[in-house]
Amino acid sequence: MAPAGSLPSGTVLGDFEIERPLSAGGMGAVYVAVQRSTGKRRALKVMRPELVADERNRRRFVEEARIGSRIDSAHVVEVVGAGVDEATGVPWLAMELLEGHDSPSTSSAEARSRSPSSSTSTTSSRTRSAGRTTSASSTAI
């Protein structure tokens, strides 16, 4: 089920075209999107529009992108880009999209080895993102 206020399929933000919602949280929603310049599927986190006006929220979102892009770990999803949509002013964060089962028992290697075309595969960018805080705190940033 799509989160309230979710972006419809086909919406374009910068270089990304939304395919479908993936998850939602306090700061924003995550979508499966296609990076138009490369044709690669990505996880695209978009800040909730009602939070954009608060400078602290925008700084937190930008900081998440900076920290995430500096961590090189098999346990943290890779940040591949960030920006602000010119038309809406909404910040976004693009990450690698992991294909696999959304389960704590699924390892990163297992998630990466699953075929994206597998009909039993579920899409998850959360498989490794839980380690972000731990890895960030152990990284001199």
> In sequence order, what are the beta bridge partners of 59?
none
Q: Can you read off the two tokens belonging to residue 11?
A: 């919406």
How much is the pLDDT for 47?
94
Tens-level pLDDT at each residue, the chain (141 residues): 344 458 999 999 999 999 999 999 988 999 999 999 999 999 999 999 899 999 999 999 989 889 988 999 988 899 999 999 988 889 999 999 988 766 555 454 444 444 444 333 343 444 344 444 444 444 444
Distances (CA, A) of 39 to 18, 24, 34: 12, 24, 6
How much is the pLDDT for 100?
76
> In sequence order, what are the beta bridge partners of 18?
33
Domains of the chain by range and CATH?
12-138 (3.30.200.20)
The pTM of this model reads 0.69
